Chains A and B, each alone.
Chain A
Amino acid sequence: GQQVMQIPQYQHVQEGEDFTTYCNSSTTLSNIQWYKQRPGGHPVFLIQLVKSGEVKKQKRLTFQFGEAKKNSSLHITATQTTDVGTYFCAGQAGNTNAGKSTFGDGTTLTVKP
């Protein structure tokens, strides 16, 4: 079945440093979503990418969807302590009726002030 992998599993940065997490799917995706989960919280939707090669920005966050629609990345510029949490990517397979979303195991970001 479809698998979604994320690297790195953990990332520790000094406040102000940049951070990037990568997401790779074993199959072509019709779309990809990114979520943030704070410690003790639930996943919160951040953004959805649909088009091949798409790039979207939300303030200090930049999201990219690969040309082959099998990979994605999230880049945070100048991290802040409020960025702490686990970032998950999730995707719906390209050959299905926009059914379930398969999640990666996330990248946990810690920020040292």
Chain B
Amino acid sequence: DTGVSQDPRHKITKRGQNVTFRCDPISEHNRLYWYRQTLGQGPEFLTYFQNEAQLEKSRLLSDRFSAERPKGSFSTLEIQRTEQGDSAMYLCASSLSRWTGRAGELFFGEGSRLTVL
């Protein structure tokens, strides 16, 4: 399978714990995005990378959230000191670079569902 893969698919944690999600993008895609989606809402932008460079981070994003893409391939999203409001589906997507004119064509993984008790 050459699609976007995310791990774990489900995570249940207690408030105050740290969690980490991993995303493996489509191999030829150099852009990688993290979005968050709650029931009845569209995906909400969190951050994105061009290769290993983090180019934009949502201003609404708490300092408890951090993302990395150390070698320009897979990425991790860490949430520290989780809160109940962090419960959501965390979606990763990848795309080609803007030079192709197709940077807006996002290919999503199946998501990592986080439940904070």
**19-70 of chain B: CB within 8 A of chain A:** 33, 35, 40-45, 48, 55-56, 59
- Whole-angstrom distance between the Cβ of B5 and the nearest chain A Cβ: 12
Chain A CB within 10 Å, residue with most, of B42, B101, B111: B42
Bound: A37/B92 CA distance, A: 15
Q: Does A105 lie within 8 Å of B104, measured CB to CB? A: no
Known contacts A97-B98, A99-B55; is A92 also within 8 Å of B104 by CB?
yes
Q: Report A-chain residues with C-beta under 8 Å of the C-beta of B110.
A: 41-42
Task: Determine, out of A13-21, A44-52, A64-72, A75-83, the stretch whose residues face the partner at the interface.
Answer: A44-52
Residue with the highest number of chain A CB atoms closer than 10 Å, among B91, B106, B107: B106
Q: How far is the CA of A55 from the CA of B38 in the complex (A)?
A: 31
Q: Which residues of chain B are near A102, meaning CB under 8 Å?
A: 45
**Contact status A42-B104, CB under 8 Å:** no
Whole-angstrom CA separation of A32 from B104 in the bound complex: 8
Asked whether, in the complex, the Cβ of B106 is within 8 Å of the Cβ of A99, the reply is no
With a CB–CB cut-off of 8 A, which chain A residues contact B44? 103
Total count of chain B residues near the partner, CB < 8 A: 25
B71 is an interface residue with CB less than 8 A from chain A = no
- Determine the residue in chain B with the shortest Cβ distance to A1: B59
State A32–B110 Cα separation when bound (angstroms). Answer: 22
- B contact residues around A4 at 8 Å (CB): 42
Residue ranges of B at the interface with A (Cβ–Cβ < 8 Å): 33, 35, 40-45, 48, 55-56, 59, 91, 98, 101-111
Contacts A91-B104, A103-B35, A106-B41 known; 7 new A-B pairs at CB < 8 A: A42-B110, A42-B111, A43-B43, A43-B108, A44-B108, A90-B42, A101-B33
CB-based closest 7 A-B pairs: A103-B42, A98-B98, A42-B108, A100-B45, A105-B42, A98-B103, A103-B43
